[in-house]
Structures are given as structure tokens and as C-alpha cells.
Amino acid sequence: MAQSTFALPRFSLKGSQIAETCPAAPAACDPAARYRTLDGSCNNQQRTAWGKSNIALQRLLPPQYGDGLGTPRTRGLPSARAVSTAVTSAQV
């Protein structure tokens, strides 16, 4: 199961039964547009789909849930304050 989450973005769905359910490719972005798009596309001019709504994201690590299925983890995690302090006090 974990392997499928990493390999799925590499498969083409063209010609499959679910090809019609995939979101359409973004149209060319208009750099002179007065307003941003509603779906978040074109926020990044080089990667127009980054930040767009209804786009699957590829995980860096497999998901880890409290019950193994869908409950958030609550044990063994650092406090939010410790994470915030470590990130904001890091020397850049």
C-alpha cells in the first residue's frame, strides 16, 4: 500500500476509464491579469499547478496515523511551541 502512494504519480491515466475525472491541465497563465485565479493556479509562474486546488500532492514520507487508518497521532510528538521555537530561532 505504501509503495502505491509513491508510484501513483508516475502512471498515465490516458485512455483509462477514470481519465475523464482528472482535472484539466492549466491554461496558459496571464502575467498581466489583474486578479489571481479562483483555483490557485498560476500563483507560481514556473510551476503553474503548485498551490492549485484539487491537485494530488506526493508525500515525502508515508502517512502515520494514531490508529493506523485515519486518526491523528497524539503521542510521541514534540510540542507546537518547541517546533515553532526551533524553526524561528534557526540561524539562516
Over the stretch 15-61, which tens digit does the pLDDT of each residue have?
777 777 766 665 678 888 888 888 888 888 888 888 888 877 777 88
Distance, in Å, from the CA atom of 53 to the CA atom of 38, rounded to the nearest integer, reads: 9
Q: Report yes or no: 8 and 14 within 8 Å, Cβ to Cβ.
A: no
Task: Name the pTM for this structure.
Answer: 0.38
Rg (CA), the chain: 19
Residue-level pLDDT at 92: 54
Question: Residue 49: which of 69, 66, 24, 68 has the closest Cα?
Answer: 24
Name the phi and psi angles at 79, rounded to 5: -70, 155
Comparing 70 with 11, the larger pLDDT belongs to 70
The per-type count for the chain, helices as H runs and strands as E runs, is 2, 0
